[in-house]
Chain A
Amino acid sequence: EPEVTQTPSHQVTQMGQEVILRCVPISNHLYFYWYRQILGQKVEFLVSFYNNEISEKSEIFDDQFSVERPDGSNFTLKIRSTKLEDSAMYFCASRTGGSTGELFFGEGSRLTVL
């Protein structure tokens, strides 16, 4: 069964460092998302990406964040200068075209900022 894969599974970084989280969505999916979850709490939307551009973003997704789909398979989330409060589990998700499809989530990348 196809799945969304994420790397790394866990990353520890120093405050102020740049971090790139990588995702390989399911191959025939068209919509891509990043969500985050702090300490097993609420799942918060960050950004959605469709047709090679951001289609929606939340207030969390400020200038420190960026997304890219550089090669047609990978979908990356970059945090330019990490803060302590960026420590969370980051989930990538994807879905097919149309409006009714459910999201398929990866296993997540745990980011710890020290």
Chain B
Amino acid sequence: AQSVAQPEDQVNVAEGNPLTVKCTYSVSGNPYLFWYVQYPNRGLQFLLKYITGDNLVKGSYGFEAEFNKSQTSFHLKKPSALVSDSALYFCAVRVNTGRRALTFGSGTRLQVQP
């Protein structure tokens, strides 16, 4: 079975400060990892993914994430938060067998204060 844990329900950060949204995963096999963002009353938008190769992946809107195999983590980061980054963030995992569906974490609400 595959699972994702997002240990923080909410993360608060001041505008201009770096942000981190945590994610750990559990799969049997090599993981494919994803981050999605959801704004109020909207669908999920893809931010970035890790498939293989460089552990640091860069995505949309200045976000990046670091894959750490030994810690089974895939934390989302941004060097300087914007108020407009305030949203719900979901980490997701799939094993690399192609046909398995994505499993999502419970989500972390990011609140960036001006």
Contact = CB atoms under 8 A, between A and B. Distances in A.
Interface of A: 4, 31, 33, 35, 40-45, 48, 50, 55-56, 91, 93, 98-100, 102-108
B101 interface: yes
Given A41-B106, A41-B107, A102-B49, A33 B101 contact: yes
B13 interface: no
A99 B32 contact: yes
Given A40-B88, A41-B106, A41-B107, A102 B46 contact: yes
B43 A103 contact: no
B90 interface: yes
Contacts of A106: 43
Interface residues of B, number: 24
> 8 tightest CB-CB pairs across the interface, nearest first?
A99-B98, A105-B43, A43-B104, A105-B44, A107-B43, A102-B46, A100-B51, A42-B106
Interface of B: 32, 34, 36, 42-46, 49, 51, 88, 90, 96-107
A102 to B, nearest CB: 5
B41 to A, nearest CB: 8
A56 B104 contact: no
Nearest to A4: B43
Given A42-B106, A100-B51, A102-B49, A55 B43 contact: no
